[in-house]
């Protein structure tokens, strides 16, 4: 039986490795395509060990020319600290630069106007966008609320361009430890499951959770879908095949990449 054209993932097991608190949006989008959703979080988002730098920065937000947010997690942390400090977004004159539409929507929900969103959703594209818009950088003050595993590319480029950059840990990525029965259920998934990866840390933790032998056996039939180049590289570094990569590098791009695999996955042994 041929699946409906609008449900290319009908009955296909799709594994979500994002933090449990972040899984719903991706699950909803994949579920709408008929996927059998398996939430298997490999990371948790927790507060930073020291939140005083972010509190200090929020206390002086009016002094910044730019706020740069590279994830929705950073937005959530910034919002929480602003609420605790009694800072109204309307009083913050800084321009807002973000990586991706989800982060942009989250900042708008907080009450900010977003000024810069790149066409592709990664740090190097944001750099290119700032250059293309000819935004003044030298001598300007930037605040980057970020996760503990954030890559240094953006901050380094800004400093090299003469900016004053304050980085403040907003959250930490820590490994999630799933119960043994969750691992067994994952390994027992039928057919050719699709595994979605939205960060390098999710990949690292997934590999650590399964261990070499179980990972090798599971990877023989699983399909791995990455949200972008960095995550794809981490998959390959672990010896795993990247069967699809999101384009653009966003949640919707990830969903579309999964949908593109759907028919092939079904054809290789999943019952209709």
Residue 257 and residue 270: Cα distance in Å, rounded?
18
- Stated as kind and residue range, the H or E segment containing 166 is strand 164-175
Residue 103 and residue 271: Cα distance in Å, rounded?
38
- Structure pTM? 0.82
Which pLDDT value is given to residue 250? 84
Beta bridge partners of 144: 167
User: Looking at 110-158, which runs of residues are DSSP E strands?
Assistant: 141-147
- Maximal C-alpha separation, the chain: 63
13-43+176-267 CATH: 3.40.50.10090
Helix, strand, coil shares, percent, the chain, to 5: 45, 20, 35
For CATH 3.40.50.10090, list the domain ranges present in the chain: 13-43+176-267, 58-172
First to last CA, the chain: 6
CATH of 58-172, one of 2.40.37.10, 3.40.140.10, 3.40.50.10090, 1.20.1250.20: 3.40.50.10090
Beta bridge partners of 110: none
Task: Render each residue's pLDDT in the chain as its tens digit; 272 residues.
Answer: 455 557 899 999 999 999 988 899 999 999 999 999 999 999 999 999 999 999 999 999 999 999 999 988 999 999 999 999 999 999 999 999 998 888 999 999 999 999 999 877 778 889 999 999 999 999 999 999 999 888 889 999 999 999 999 999 999 999 998 999 999 999 999 999 999 999 999 999 999 999 999 999 999 999 999 998 889 999 999 999 999 999 888 888 999 999 999 765 554 444 33
Burial group, residue 84, by CB count within 10 angstroms (0-12, 13-18, 19+) = exposed
Structure letter (DSSP) for residue 116:
B
Which pLDDT value is given to residue 271? 39
Which pLDDT value is given to residue 269? 45
């Amino acid at each position: 039986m041929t699946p409906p054209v609008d449900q290319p993932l009908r009955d296909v097991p799709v594994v979500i490795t994002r933090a449990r608190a972040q899984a719903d949006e991706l699950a909803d989008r994949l579920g709408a395509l008929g996927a059998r959703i398996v939430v298997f979080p490999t990371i948790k988002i927790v507060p930073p060990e020291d939140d005083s730098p972010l509190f200090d920065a929020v206390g002086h937000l009016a002094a910044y020319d730019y706020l740069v947010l590279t994830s929705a997690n950073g937005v959530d942390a910034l919002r929480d600290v602003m609420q605790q400090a009694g800072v109204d977004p309307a009083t913050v004159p800084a321009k807002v630069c973000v990586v991706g539409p989800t982060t942009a929507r989250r900042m708008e929900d907080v009450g900010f106007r977003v000024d810069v969103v790149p066409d592709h959703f990664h740090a190097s594209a944001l750099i290119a966008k700032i250059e293309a818009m000819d935004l003044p950088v030298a001598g300007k003050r930037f605040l980057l609320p970020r996760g503990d595993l954030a890559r240094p590319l953006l901050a380094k480029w800004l400093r090299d361009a003469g900016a004053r950059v304050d980085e403040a840990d907003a959250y930490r990525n820590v490994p999630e430890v799933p119960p043994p029965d969750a691992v067994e259920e994952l390994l027992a998934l039928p057919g050719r499951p699709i595994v979605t990866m939205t960060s390098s840390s999710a990949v690292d933790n997934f590999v650590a959770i399964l261990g070499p032998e179980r990972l090798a056996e599971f990877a023989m039939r699983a399909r791995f879908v990455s949200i972008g180049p960095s995550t794809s590289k981490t998959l390959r570094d672990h010896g795993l095949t990247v069967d699809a990569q999101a384009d653009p590098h966003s949640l919707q791009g990830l969903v579309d990449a999964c949908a593109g695999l759907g028919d092939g996955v079904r054809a290789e042994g999943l019952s209709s």
